[in-house]
Structure 1
Amino acid sequence: MPDRTAPDASSAGRLSRRSLLAASAGAAAALGAAGLPVLATGTPALAHSKDKGKSRLRVEPLIPSRNRGIILYSVRDRISAAPDDSGVPYGFERVLARLAEIGYKEIEFAGYTQSTEILGRQITPTEIRKILDDNGLVANGTHATIRADTFQQQLDIAEELGMANIGTGSDPTSSSYKADWDAAADTWNELGRQARARRMRLYTHNHDAAYSFLLDSGPLDDQGRPTRSSGVRRLEYFFGKTDPRYVFFELDIYWAYVARYKHQKYVDPAGREVTDLFDPILTVADRTTRFPLFHAKDGDRDTSVPNGYQMTPLGEGDLNFQQFFQTIGERDFHHANWEMDTAPGGTTNRGQSLDFAATSYRNMSDLTIYLKK
């Protein structure tokens, strides 16, 4: 497993292409109360330091180059494309070569198929592994279907591709009730043991609903189910029910901030409406080595849409990746996979997703940290 030594986070770098938003007063207060650094953003790094102090520091990438990845869902249009004369790469061989040329070192899979017009048949995991190796790429995970009856077959594919992690893009359950999350935890603990036996970690990826409130108390409905909440969020309940040796998580940073925007209130057992703000940084910082992977997905704040954000290439939105990654620490342990669900440009702009991949890689590379020499 990778080194888990946390860095000395002395001060923040910043993205050069867009000013970052400072944390809200509430988030800053929560970070301070937890003993975590509260970073000023939108100002030059080390602006408070004298030149003499700067000479005792060195600058390094906040996300090491070896840990910068992409989930292929972002470029799914080009992975699945049939041969065409657009000049834009298509299929695994050409797209992975382009991603390596951009600078990405790691790949998270979102399926293992391409157009059968490329080879006259479907590509095999063995052939995909050769393409990875030929381009100096490493598979760091996958969004597969996680079920007990097919899990060993999924592990076989993951092992062939050289993955350290195997996961899914879905929540362990979509239920609001404890009993369903308890059952999911039992299943995931067992599957996690199986993954560990084959030197892999099992992980689940969140959307915003995973951080909504569990219905676990209060009056029962006509089916005998609780209708109110004690204030526990679904996935945070799952953290406590699963074994940290066997079950891990991939935080989608964009969806976590959507959850902060959407899921702020619950009705307590006494029928009172309670406001509780979710902090994505704190939910990771409290259990940072349960999160080997992240989706580094950016968004523009837009309260005119239901989610409160519109997806953008990384570094062109309003999410504070600098503060996020520096505060959670464990710089060598964490792996950041760029994702943008809306990256494909369709037939009118076939190269858009790969162009966005290049922009996002450059901006990910711009995140820096100052360390003691």
Structure 2
Amino acid sequence: MEDNAKQRRRFTRRDVFTASASAAAVLGAAGLPVLATGTPALADTPSNTEGDRGRGLRAEPLIPSRNRGIILYSVRDRITAAPDNSGVPYGFERVLARLAEIGYKEIEFAGYTQHTSLLGRQITPKEIRKVLDDNGLVANGTHTQINPATFDKEMDIAQELGMRNIGTGGDPANTSYKSDWDAAADTWNELGRRAKARGLRLYTHNHDSAYSFLLDAGPSDANGKPTRSSGKRRLEYFFDKTDPRYVFFEMDIYWAYVARYKHRTYTDRWGRQQTDLFDPILTVAPRTTRFPLFHAKDGNRNTAVPDGHDMVVFGEGDINFQQFFQTIGEQDFHHANWEHDGAPGGPGAPGQSIDFAASSYANMSELTIYRR
């Protein structure tokens, strides 16, 4: 097997010019927002003489450095590790210092605990905030439980940590029935209103099932539940039922492309099978400012596995992040948190998750937009 470092594909200037014209054309035809200053091929600029090629263009990061983050779930093995002799950082203080050294500016939390042997007790949110501040890091969100009974306490922690967004990694409703999503929308509108009153944004994060089809049509089953679909997807229905002032979203880009692969057919109210291809870009673009956060998670297409993709280090897969982030626009508004669910390497490779974080940051930083 080749060394992992040799296998890793880094973004190059050739990659930077990957065409996003087809998606942009569809958006423009639909009257949707498209970044006006797209990435032209240098040969297509007004003058293609050697001396003038590229004149007037300037390169800018597609994802601004201040908006590049990581969800700590990716390095959960090292956040929760007891002190060891591996030479790999452990606990909040050491791991966050290493992430800042790599270049990350933002942190999305996935729990607030570390191994109690480090302090002889559990670390507090106030102590975590000091670690953030000492390393020039900003908390941009969290995956926690969104429950009306505990929501004030969760907002207290979020504000202690200085974060702008508070969210969850689970669906607002874990069913296919419209009535359940209606009830969830009522709850989330109210919680989102409470969050906004405290200067926070409430968000939910998707897995592939969030973009599967509602059961909202056709004959009912024995329990009176509908058995067929109008073709509306769960989370897209939730977009329309929630107030855009109060409820926001974090698209996990990898799981969105898994949904594109897995959830493409439904049975309509008349019992006919219909096909509808999910498009992550066209889902975000019409409501791009409802997506302050993204999980920048990469994958390689593999139809031999149920999800149709294998999760890989950012920049090693075939998801076109250049096209995605350039086409949805609003570069300054969006925050990209790197994630890889399987980054921890276990006892045999204790440094793997940190190594993956470093490689992914380097590849993310090389995404470039060219402007005139």
Deviation at 1:165, TM superposition (A): 0.3
SS in 2 for 1:69: strand
Is 2:288 the partner of 1:292?
A: no
User: What residue in structure 2 maps to residue 329 of structure 1?
Assistant: 329
Deviation at 1:37, TM superposition (A): 5.9
Flag the 1:34–1:180 CA change in 2: closer, same or farther, 3 A. Answer: same
- Give structure 1 stretches of 5+ with no counterpart: 1-13
Deviation string, structure 1 residues 78-124 (Cα, Å, up to 9, x no partner): 00000001100000000000000000000000000000011110000
Amino acid at match of 1:346: G
Using structure 2 for the length normalisation, give the TM-score. Answer: 0.91
Q: In structure 1, how many angstroms separate the alpha carbons of the residues matched to 2:163 and 2:183?
A: 27
User: What residue in structure 2 maps to residue 277 of structure 1?
Assistant: 277
Q: In structure 2, how many angstroms separate the alpha carbons of the residues matched to 1:298 and 1:72?
A: 16
Q: In structure 1, how many angstroms separate the alpha carbons of the residues matched to 2:308 and 2:348?
A: 28
User: What residue in structure 1 maps to residue 249 of structure 2?
Assistant: 249
User: What residue in structure 1 maps to residue 12 of structure 2?
Assistant: 16
Q: In structure 2, how many angstroms separate the alpha carbons of the residues matched to 1:322 and 1:133?
A: 31
- Give structure 2 stretches of 5+ with no counterpart: 1-9
SS in 2 for 1:193: helix
Flag the 1:124–1:87 CA change in 2: closer, same or farther, 3 A. Answer: same
User: What residue in structure 1 maps to residue 123 of structure 2?
Assistant: 123
Q: In structure 1, how many angstroms separate the alpha carbons of the residues matched to 2:322 and 2:21?
A: 17
**8 Å CA contact retained: 2:18, 2:322:** no
Flag the 1:351–1:137 CA change in 2: closer, same or farther, 3 A. Answer: same
Per mean C-alpha deviation after superposition, the further-off stretch among 360-369 and 22-31 is 22-31
User: What residue in structure 2 maps to residue 156 of structure 1?
Assistant: 156
Deviation at 1:53, TM superposition (A): 6.1
SS in 2 for 1:244: coil
SS in 2 for 1:166: strand
**8 Å CA contact retained: 1:189, 1:246:** yes
Deviation at 1:237, TM superposition (A): 0.2
Flag the 1:30–1:364 CA change in 2: closer, same or farther, 3 A. Answer: same
User: What residue in structure 2 maps to residue 355 of structure 1?
Assistant: 355
Flag the 1:18–1:171 CA change in 2: closer, same or farther, 3 A. Answer: farther
Deviation at 1:16, TM superposition (A): 1.9
Q: In structure 2, how many angstroms separate the alpha carbons of the residues matched to 1:321 and 1:103?
A: 19
Deviation string, structure 1 residues 13-35 (Cα, Å, up to 9, x no partner): x9229958968999677446335
Q: How does 1:1-373 map to 2 (within 5 A)?
A: 15-16=11-12, 30-31=26-27, 33-34=29-30, 45-49=41-45, 50=48, 52=52, 54-372=54-372
Report sequence identity in percent.
Answer: 75
**8 Å CA contact retained: 1:298, 1:319:** yes
Amino acid at match of 2:30: A
**8 Å CA contact retained: 2:288, 2:328:** yes
Flag the 1:70–1:233 CA change in 2: closer, same or farther, 3 A. Answer: same
**8 Å CA contact retained: 1:112, 1:125:** yes
Deviation string, structure 1 residues 197-252 (Cα, Å, up to 9, x no partner): 11010000000000000010001111101111110000000000000000000000
Deviation at 1:46, TM superposition (A): 3.1
Q: In structure 2, how many angstroms separate the alpha carbons of the residues matched to 1:26 and 1:59?
A: 22
Flag the 1:239–1:44 CA change in 2: closer, same or farther, 3 A. Answer: closer
Per mean C-alpha deviation after superposition, the further-off stretch among 48-57 and 265-274 is 48-57
Q: Count the aligned residue pairs.
A: 357
**8 Å CA contact retained: 1:17, 1:315:** no
**8 Å CA contact retained: 2:20, 2:323:** no
Q: In structure 2, how many angstroms separate the alpha carbons of the residues matched to 1:20 and 1:256?
A: 22
Q: In structure 2, how many angstroms separate the alpha carbons of the residues matched to 1:206 and 1:129?
A: 27
Using structure 1 for the length normalisation, give the TM-score. Answer: 0.91
